[in-house]
A = this chain, B = another copy of it.
Amino acid sequence: MSGMKGGALFLTRLNAVAAEIEALLGRLLAVAPTEDEVARPGRLLEAMRYASLGGGKRLRPFLVVEAAALFGVAREHALLAGAAIECVHCYSLVHDDLPAMDDDALRRGQPTVHKAFDEATAILAGDSLLTFAFDILSRPDTHPNAAVRVGLVLALARAAGLGGMAGGQMLDLAAEGRFAGGRPERLGEGEIITLQAMKTGALLRFACVAGAMLGEAGAEKRGALDRYGAALGQAFQIADDLLDVEGDAATLGKAAGKDAAAGKATLVGVLGPAEARIRLAQLVAEAETALAPFGKDALWLKAAARFVAERRA
């Protein structure tokens, strides 16, 4: 599958998962508290819904769903795991946008949570979305096997925490010299790759591996999805940095060139756009190669790798 028609079919499939995730998160974040909850305070719930509903490509849930489909996992299980990962993604956006972090006023063309509500509510909404991800993953609805659920919890905690996404954000802030007495550092290629593998790569990679975990896959196939996810994560970040250099504010829904202006450490900055584009193509090829054990079944994951590399927003 390739060319315009393949791309259109892929987008239809991506949007279908996005619609299912939207509906599912809407149900999970209902007004009525679940058992064990005393109440769901209105303002907090509203901020969590604002942060997680009504937008986003839902790429991470798509990766879970398509990876899980390789093993015949029930779609409702994959969607719940995908919704959990999406909650972590949305929490990270809410906290990264805070004045003390990246200080962004717009996200997907809309006011960020601390602008639409206030800073305290944004901090709590992020905290609660992160917590909610573990709530969702550990529910029996997500998988009948407790060992699978707790395995997902552990892997998500590793991908999101100190040694993953949160750690990557710390390295990113440090590279910009954002602390008292700090100065921007000029990171080398290896350091940038580590930073990005943590900040954005770990969660994308986990989304792919989660599909294999839900399918109780063996080490070989799980390893294949791990390699696919790692290559896709790197490709995602290079494409994002290229977009930041070349995109325009209208398509992105945020200020273009902002990262470059902030002196953010990116591979595009180190390699230059032409070399970065070559690297991007290599990573897409690497992602596709990793999927060899799945043969033709992996066509949508292959399309996802190309989509990530070619997207314009």
Contacts and interface: CB of A to CB of B under 8 A. Distances in A.
A135 B123 contact: no
A146 B171 CA distance: 34
Contacts of A118: 100, 178-180
Contacts of A159: 36
Interface stretch (A42-50, A105-113, A272-280, A281-289): A42-50
A194 interface: yes
14 contacts: A37-B162, A37-B164, A38-B167, A45-B162, A48-B162, A118-B180, A120-B173, A120-B179, A121-B173, A128-B161, A131-B160, A131-B161, A138-B157, A146-B151
B167 A128 contact: yes
Given A45-B162, A48-B162, A132 B157 contact: yes
Interface residues of A, number: 67
Q: Interface centre among A139, A158, A180, by most B CB within 10 Å?
A: A158
Nearest to A45: B162
Nearest to A198: B38
Contacts of A40: 162-163, 167
Nearest to A95: B123
Task: Give the oligomeric copy count.
Answer: 2
A134 B74 CA distance: 25
Interface string A115-134: 00111110110111011101
A3 interface: no
B161 A135 contact: yes
A179 B122 CA distance: 12
A312 to B, nearest CB: 29
A120 B178 contact: yes
A313 interface: no
A98 B161 CA distance: 20
Interface string A23-47: 0000000000110111111011100
A69 to B, nearest CB: 24
Interface string A147-159: 1011101111111
A252 interface: no
Nearest to A153: B138
A9 interface: no
